[in-house]
Amino acid sequence: MKRKVEGFIFDLDGVLTDTSEFHYLAWKRIAEELKIPFDREKNENFKGVSRHECLRILLGGRNPGSSSFEKLLALKNSYYRGYIKRITPESLFPGVLNVLDRIREKGGRIAVASVSKNTDEVITMLGVRDKFDVILDGYSVKRTKPEPDQFLLASKMLSVVPGCCVVFEDSLAGIEAAERAGMLSVGIGSRERLNSADLVFNGFDEIEFNIMIGKLVEILTYEHRL
């Protein structure tokens, strides 16, 4: 029996646009102020992880001293919001619009599901708000990725069963969440790092839409998920 892929769920940061870099720059400033070593490799573990959890990881049991935990969270966000001021529709990664339009043409339902509490603003600045049937941000669920809650909520709001949804993600936390939700996953980024995803592309401009859908349907048909 053949199943259709009908629900398309997109992470935001590092998938639709390069805001992962802005998160990195903001955390780097905080780390420097606290004199905590921080580099791009450490930042990999921050992808898909909530602001609160990122700070807990960064502090690694250290006492934040005179600057309280809440103040540091607010400071990180103010640095981040300084960087995102430069976002325009040109900041969308190449190929994203094309994939969104192809999904629409085929009658697919589309959601964005991000842990970021700045999702609404970023999506609006990118000029793609009306491309999504459902927008879920860091306020939408209590338990964030790698828990499957947000993707399951997206599937419910799209009215597409989890087994017919595919998640586009750049983070390991997000790919794990997709798997735990019983969904297909497409990694966007390095093949080496994202090898737990069902398919991996360096970027959306590498995606041949019909070929990708064909491969996903094959996985649905022959794997236990059917």
Rounded to the nearest angstrom, the gap between the alpha carbon of residue 151 and the centroid of all alpha carbons in its chain is: 11
Q: Which does 46 bind (CB under 5 to 8 A by kind): Mg ion, ligand BG6, none?
A: ligand BG6
d(CA 108, CA 100): 9
Span of 41-49, 194-202, 203-211, 217-225 interacting with ligand BG6 by CB under 6 A: 41-49
CA distances from 76 to 24, 33, 138, 171 (A): 10, 11, 16, 20
DSSP state of 163: G
Q: Is residue 11 among the annotated active site residues?
A: yes
Strands 7-10 and 199-201: unpaired
Q: Which does 146 bind (CB under 5 to 8 A by kind): Mg ion, ligand BG6, none?
A: none
Q: Under the criterion CB under 6 A, does residue 149 sit at the interface with ligand BG6? A: no
Residues 142-171 that bind Mg ion (CB under 5 A): 170-171
Exposure of 37 by Cβ count < 10 A (0-12 exposed, 13-18 middle, 19+ buried)?
exposed
Q: Which is nearer to Mg ion, 43 or 171 (CB)?
A: 171
Q: Is residue 13 among the annotated active site residues?
A: yes
x/- string (CB under 6 A) for ligand BG6, residues 70-109? -------x--------------------------------
Vertex 45: Cα angle to 47 and 56 (nearest 5)? 100
Binding site for ligand BG6 (CB under 6 A): 12-13, 20, 23, 46-51, 54, 77, 114-118, 138, 171
Binding site for Mg ion (CB under 5 A): 11, 13-14, 170-171
Catalytically active residues are 11, 13
